[in-house]
Amino acid sequence: MDTFDAIYARRAVKQYDDAHRLTTEEESKLLEAAIQAPTSFNIQHWRFVVARDPQLRQKIRENGNDQAQMTEASLLVILTADLKAWAKEPKRYWVNAPAEVADLLVNWMGPFHEGREWLQRDEAQRSIGMAMQTLMLAAKAMGYDSCPMIGFDIEAVAKLIRLPDDHVMGPMVAIGKGTKAPWPKPGQLTLDEVVLENGF
């Protein structure tokens, strides 16, 4: 599918064929696409929790306003991020770069993040957002529907997936074969309202 077609066709679909399963190859293709998303310093601090266990997915649904797509979609991916990834063997993020580039960025990574918890969290959420959009567009290009969700008890789901203390929760995405067309688009603001020239 053309990139622009995928962008305009992607919608938050709520109803899925609960008998449909993605193949292992399709799952790999989707997740490999998701990790092409950019991250600051190439930290790649997103961590994708694929919820496969039906009992776990049912518990997530119980803590997610009974959203049917949490149990009925072929795939449920919970996006999280490691807030301290910048301090965990940072050389591995630049292993294929020229030595002078790797040294520059690896040595800058620590001072940039150290003691700036707000920045660590902001960067994590930005990275999650870019990976999530990449994942949804890849799904659409493969003929699948998706639904991003933040309407769940974040603390309860974090406990269910045993989220480490130095990680942060992001949204989750359901992916699969939609069975019902989404609602009509509610309306986009015009470019005149959202695009500013050289400042406010």
User: Which stretches of the chain drop beneath a pLDDT of 50?
Assistant: none
Identify the three-state secondary structure at position 6. helix
Order of strands across the sheet with 145-149? 46-50, 75-82, 167-176, 145-149
Per-residue model confidence as pLDDT tens digits over 102-120: 999 999 999 999 999 999 9
What b/e readout covers 73-93, taking b as 16+ CB neighbours within 10 angstroms?
bbbbbbbbbbbebbeeebeeb
pLDDT at residue 1 in the model: 85
Per-residue model confidence as pLDDT tens digits over 30-46: 999 999 999 999 999 99
In angstroms, the CA 134 to CA 130 distance is: 6
Which domains does the chain possess?
3-194 (3.40.109.10)
